[in-house]
Chains A and B, each alone.
Chain A
């Protein structure tokens, strides 16, 4: 029988029951491998449920540092009878099944082309523990112990992790170590070795292991947000919760203990964006975190902020839509909803972070951009980035960096006789000056409205005033292009006719796919889009290739639509490749799609200097 053999390059998937305490045990498993210097990329695939429904935890072990989802499963840790059949089916031929053998299962429940390692976990737990909760929790630790033995994970790393976790709680520390040893001993004495292994390396470097929501929250701390208004919604809630935790440590007046921040959990998303806009109008940096349904509810306000030209930052952790939709599944399905949010002719600035590092960077940058451009700015994260811990570059900050507060007219400028027109383009970049409320006793006050106004914010329904305003807003949107992060080119080793466009969480899987394709002799130039409005570089890139695959994690090809609408791209040049089942896109999916399509386009590499 075929046997998958791999060192530091495999996928282990845990099938568990939600609420059984498995998540922390599985994370422990992932972290132990990371501490051995081998990169891992775990993904929690969880239901909209607190207890009882199936949940999975997939760990990609990857010495090469491929942090996207690979696709396929080399080892299944099947701890959930509800999903047994599906879990067993998912294992790659020659792969491994680890399961609780306390209760005998008929032969038909297994497969002939996989290697099975059974361990009577329940039996062992029932013998070792009398308390029901202990039996449950330590069962998880015991299977981590057995896997430690099977995969050659260094138990000392897990013990160290326990030591950090249970610092000062010696009793808990001891009982966890005991449970771990129970599993390791069983693994060594009763389980036949397998051919996937972890070996110590030094491939992690100074990278950090963090989820995108924590990173975005920290970005808001560093970017100077003082007002956070939010409404709980999966998968974005942990942004605001992390902001609160970081702020409690980092934003407290050392003398008085008073807070240099404010957080309001609003009654709904309408109120949370309203508060963000009120604070932005009044000169404080403010943000909200939400997901698709929240964006829908906020839409009227987003349009008001666009036309009234009020800074606001929205961190949209995208999920499967609509409404209740698939709240615990990932998608990039809000691209159009955000780009054009609200009624009237509106267009919004979008940033597409690839990983937690960019969640941090772009959240901080969004606060600058929102004030510079006086407009809502969206950070388009998603569940895959937001709620999964990912290895990424360490956060950095230049201490000489100051906040760009944009064009704010001061009392001094008003006294000096500056001509203040709230919606007047004085610099040719479409960005007007604003005053904060309370600036000057007699000058600079104005009444903020949507569009019934002239350049001096006076009430006007005159067509000419409306046209002036709309054209200035268009000019402002042009100006935005020069301020946004540029796309990142990943050029093929050889001149390539085909190209791929991608954005956001597709990044890591794409890196791996490009390498795999190159090994197959298929060379693709790839461009990662990081912002909307699209810079000219993007249209130029598309124009210089015969066909461009656009990888998206949605059904409608939303970025493709946006490219056709906004970048003057010939639709015939674009081939949308869509992954939209709610799970993160995999490297295997990308590889297969490109390989098939390239071959269908009848292009076969003959020699390496004449490539696809």
Chain B
């Protein structure tokens, strides 16, 4: 991070996207996180992904819980509405916001303490309901703001900065999301932007519950030897199953690939996810296989990254509830109030 504000003046030659915004228009306030924090790389990836996707910044609602990760929505998309909710309960607030207005893009930002410890219940249930959102877990295995306690994603046997050993079994949010019915499940690494940006783009376009578990090393409390969430450890044990190219609906697919090298998945909104396989045996359309694959590799100490599961026919909460097309927050008394005549009929039925 820097304490020096970036100049507000934009260079006139900065490229604009289709909706007329430069990349700088997607920035937020200056980060107050530690220099080198993985979370800042994720914020940069979100900025990049939104700019590339031609999303109007104010059409995104950013919601978070409590913790270092949950502070980050202030550091990107500065013209969007953001909501720093309570610890571990962002999913319910996001669900309510989504019910109120189905037309905005919902970005949930959380951490491993927020989602796997205090908020495990809400994390699981929001996946079950198919809320149309992109849920990013900035996972560093440690509580940063309270200075270095283990979180529930810390691996068994990993060591804290103070030398304590974690004896509890870790919670794998990717596996949990798969079990609970998330329809887009991925894992990324804050240190690999070329993998992360397309994952976020594809997740934003996904019309259902999309979750990306992003390993994001904590430079202050969890980047030492003995940690399994440090930059070095993740780089050494990263097993990317695929590389992703994402093509929004309107974009022509121009890149060329060798025969048999790629799989294409078309999503509900017409966008195309093109996957270059790195592991020949990996099929992101197979949820059951994805779960065992992730677990098999975890048992070998490998961290599987990439797009792990995608259900291109995802059904979201509003579809399930059969709500009207217009956002509920735009309906007025004319649409909502049945009026006196109907009330008198009800009165008559109660005599």
Which A residues contact B (CB, under 8 angstroms)? 204, 206-210, 218, 221-222, 224, 226-227, 229, 250-251, 253, 256-264, 266-268, 270-284, 286, 300-301, 304, 308, 394-399, 401-403, 435-443, 445-450, 459
A-B contact pairs, 24 of them (CB 8 A): A206-B351, A221-B336, A221-B337, A257-B322, A260-B323, A262-B318, A262-B328, A264-B317, A270-B122, A271-B91, A274-B85, A274-B95, A278-B100, A281-B83, A283-B101, A304-B86, A308-B83, A437-B81, A437-B97, A445-B80, A447-B83, A447-B84, A448-B81, A448-B83
| Cβ contacts under 8 Å, B347 to chain A | 206, 208, 394-395
A251 to B342, CA, bound (A): 12
Query: Which among B29, B59, B78, B321 is the interface contact of A262 at CB below 8 angstroms?
Result: B321
Report the Cα distance A440→B57, complex, angstroms.
10
| With known contacts A224-B337, A282-B61, A286-B100, A403–B329 Cβ distance under 8 A | no
Are A445's CB and B58's CB within 8 A?
yes
In contact, A301 and B89 (Cβ under 8 angstroms): yes
**Alpha-carbon separation in the docked complex, A282 to B59 (Å):** 12
> Would B121 and A260 count as touching, CB distance under 8 A?
no
Query: Is B9 on the interface with A (CB-CB < 8 A)?
Result: no
A263 and B91 alpha carbons, distance in the complex (Å): 16
Instruction: Given A224-B331, A396-B343, A448-B81, output 14 extra A-B contacts at Cβ < 8 Å.
Output: A206-B347, A224-B337, A257-B322, A262-B318, A273-B92, A275-B96, A275-B99, A278-B95, A281-B83, A281-B96, A283-B329, A394-B344, A395-B347, A399-B339
Which 3 residue pairs spanning A and B have beta carbons closest together?
A278-B96, A274-B92, A284-B100
Judging by beta carbons under 8 Å apart, are A271 and B336 in contact? no
Contact (Cβ within 8 A) B350 A266: no
Which residues from chain B contact A440 at a C-beta distance below 8 Å?
58
A435 and B329 contact, CB distance less than 8 A: no
Inter-subunit contact A260/B324 (CB<8 Å): yes
Nearest to B349 among chain A residues (CB) is: A208
Contact in complex: B323, A258 (CB < 8 Å): yes
**Chain B contacts to A: CB under 8 angstroms:** 29, 56-59, 61, 63, 73-74, 78-86, 89, 91-101, 103-104, 121-122, 125, 129, 317-318, 321-325, 327-329, 331-333, 335-340, 342-344, 346-347, 350-351
Determine whether the beta carbon of A209 is less than 8 Å from that of B81.
Answer: no
- Decide: B79 and A282 in contact? CB cutoff 8 A: no
Report the Cα distance A565→B315, complex, angstroms: 52
User: Taking CB as reference atom, which chain A residue is nearest B95?
Assistant: A275
With A256-B324, A259-B321 known as contacts, the answer to whether A438 contacts B103 (CB < 8 A) is yes
Evaluate contact between B61 and A301: CB separation under 8 angstroms: no
A399 to chain B, nearest CB (A): 5
Q: Which residues of A contact B346 (CB under 8 A)?
A: 218, 395
Does the CB pair A222–B329 fall under 8 Å? no
Interchain CB contact under 8 A, A267 and B122: yes
Complex alpha-carbon distance, A448 and B64, angstroms: 10
Question: Which chain A residues lie closer than 8 Å to B331 at the CB level?
Answer: 224, 226, 260
Tell me the interface secondary structure of chain A in the complex. loop
From B73, B101, B329, B335, name the one whose CB has the most chain A CB atoms within 10 angstroms: B329
Contact A279 B338 (CB under 8 A): no
**Smallest Cβ distance from A464 to chain B, in angstroms?**
21
Residues of A near B92 (CB, < 8 A) are 229, 266, 270-275, 278
Across the interface, which residues of B come within 8 angstroms of A436, CB to CB?
Answer: 81, 101, 329
Given that A268-B121, A442-B79 are contacting pairs, would A279 and B96 also be in contact in the complex, using a CB cutoff of 8 Å? yes
Bound Cα distance from A226 to B331, whole angstroms:
9
Please report the C-alpha to C-alpha distance between residue A204 and residue B337 in the assembled complex, in whole angstroms: 28
Q: Which residues of B contact A283 (CB under 8 A)?
A: 100-101, 329
Of the residues B57, B101, B122, B333, contact of A274 by C-beta under 8 Å = B122
Contact B97 A222 (CB under 8 A): no
Partner of A276, one of B29, B80, B96, B350: B96
CA distance A209 to B336 in the complex (A): 25
Task: Please give, as numbers and ranges, the residues of chain B lying within 8 Å of A441 by CB-CB distance.
Answer: 56-58, 79
Question: Which residues of A are found within 8 Å of B101, using beta-carbon distances?
Answer: 282-284, 436-438
In angstroms, Cα B96 to Cα A280, docked, is 8
Question: Separation in Å of the A480 CB from the closest CB of chain B?
Answer: 23
Q: Is the CB of A447 within 8 A of B82?
A: yes
Residue of B nearest to A250 (CB): B338
Residue of A nearest to B318 (CB): A262
Given A262-B321, A278-B94, A279-B96, residue A222 in contact with residue B74 (CB < 8 A): no
Across-interface contacts of A208 in B (CB, < 8 A): 347, 350-351
List of A residues within 8 angstroms of B129 by Cβ: 264
- What are the residues of chain A within 8 A of B58 when measuring CB–CB? 437-442, 445
Q: Which residues of B contact A450 (CB under 8 A)?
A: 84
Cβ contacts under 8 Å, A260 to chain B: 323-324, 328, 331, 335-336
